[in-house]
Amino acid sequence: MGTNTEPRVSVGHICIEVSDITRSRKFYEPMLKNLGFRTIMEEKDSIGFSNGSLSIFLGQPTSRRVERNAPSVDEFVVADHIALLVPDRNTVNEVALIMKNAGFEPLFPAEEHPEFVAGYYSVSFCDPDNYVIEFYLVDKR
């Protein structure tokens, strides 16, 4: 395997099945555009965003394959979610404000979660299809 400490694997793109591309775009576009993503692909039933290193694609199939229930918020760890690592607390707080201004309330507000690890700070939202999207960092101050 060698002694190189650089990661050998990273996430290049994420594809999310949605039930209504127009409704989902209203959720994803404000947060992603304000974080430096741009639209890289747009079709009748799909859209893609990229920041140059990560791409996120939304696709509405002709028949749904996946249907999710919203988390109960009683879970210690919400399984099956997407967590996007951001550089600082200001970015977490910025996402929280952007989404609030777009009309979306957080599943979990921007706050510390020391029960996960010291310095864990995040905000999470449920998209229109109940996928949980989290923005987080581990602040090592």
Half-sphere exposure of 88 (CA within 13 A, CB side): 3
Least confident of 59-63, 70-74, 115-119: 70-74
pTM here? Answer: 0.86
Q: In three state form, how does the secondary structure of 111-133 look?
A: EECCCCCCCEEEEEEECCCCCEE
Can you tell me the distance from the alpha carbon of 115 to that of 111, in angstroms, rounded to the nearest whole number?
12
Residue 16: pLDDT above 90? yes
pLDDT in tens, 104-134: 999 999 999 988 899 999 999 999 999 999 9
